[in-house]
Amino acid sequence: MLCECGKNEATVRETVIINGKSIEKNLCEQCAQDLGLAPTTHHPALHELVKQFVHEPGVTEAQPLKAEEIACSTCSLTYTRFKQTGLLGCGLCYKSFEEQVGPLIERAHEGATHHVGKIPRSALERSRHGGPDRLEILLGTTEERLRRMGELRRQLDEAVEAEQFERAATLRDELHRLDQLKPGQVLPDEFSSTHGEE
């Protein structure tokens, strides 16, 4: 059946009330939308995205180990259970399942592999007194920090290339901030918590 417009196939059947009479209309997608009658499309919840990633062949099957039998030593969550729910059991699950979850995270976040951005302020402040080891727990090894800064530099170059100057300035600030966070160094004052409770 053709739509009222006579151009397209009618795919939407809707009852509309005109002057108190209900009239059945057969419309194409475009005309239905013009009348505000088209159904809205839903988007998959984020969990669903994870599940899709996990269930895609090649993601799990490519793993050399039998990933299903792995369990987190801290919270005892099994990888099988994670595949069912898309939810991890504790912070250390990220270590226990790093090999499996790492690629999923990369795909869910458009290729990103490392965090850039906020670092817990009080923890950072406390680690000033705890020496380089404490700082490394928060900031990672030198290699990890260099990698993070390399990523920021890449984003900065991209922003400059695209003439996104505001974004470039933000990235430059972040680079500067990270550069000052070297293990073994006394942190500049801007990193000390303004809400000191100790």
Measured from the Cβ of residue 183, the count of other Cβ atoms closer than 10 Å reads 17
Our finding on whether 34 is near other proteins (CB under 8 A) is yes
Closest CA to 168 of 156, 158, 178: 156
Q: Which of 3, 67, 71, 77 binds other proteins (CB under 8 A)?
A: 77
- Residue 117 binds other proteins (CB under 8 A): yes
Cβ at position 36, least distance to Zn ion in Å: 14
* Cβ at position 173, least distance to other proteins in Å: 8
Q: Which of residues 86-115 bind Zn ion (CB under 5 A)?
A: 89-90, 92-93
* Distance set, CA 52 to CA 12, 67, 87, 110, 195 (Å): 30, 17, 13, 15, 43
Least distance to Zn ion, CB of residue 105, Å: 15
Report the residue from 119, 149, 160, 187 that binds other proteins according to the rule CB under 8 A: 119
Binding of other proteins by 167 (CB under 8 A)? yes
Q: Does 146 bind other proteins (CB under 8 A)?
A: no
Burial 148-160 (b: 16+ CB within 10 A, else e): beeebeebbeebe
Q: How far is CA 56 from CA 26, 50, 62, 67, 178, in A?
A: 39, 10, 11, 14, 37
Q: Is 139 in the site for other proteins (CB under 8 A)?
A: yes
**Separation CA 84–CA 77 (nearest Å):** 11
Q: Which residue, 3 or 89, has its beta carbon nearer to other proteins?
A: 89
CA–CA gap between residue 94 and residue 70 (Å, rounded) = 13
Residues whose CB is less than 8 angstroms from the CB of residue 159 and which lie 6 or more positions away in sequence, other chains included: 165, 167, 168, 171
Residues that bind Zn ion (CB under 5 A): 3, 5, 8, 28, 31, 72, 74-75, 77, 89-90, 92-93
Residues that bind other proteins (CB under 8 A): 30, 33-34, 36, 38, 40-43, 45-47, 49-50, 75-77, 81, 84-91, 93-95, 101, 104-105, 108-123, 136-141, 144-145, 151, 155, 166-167, 170-171, 174, 193-197
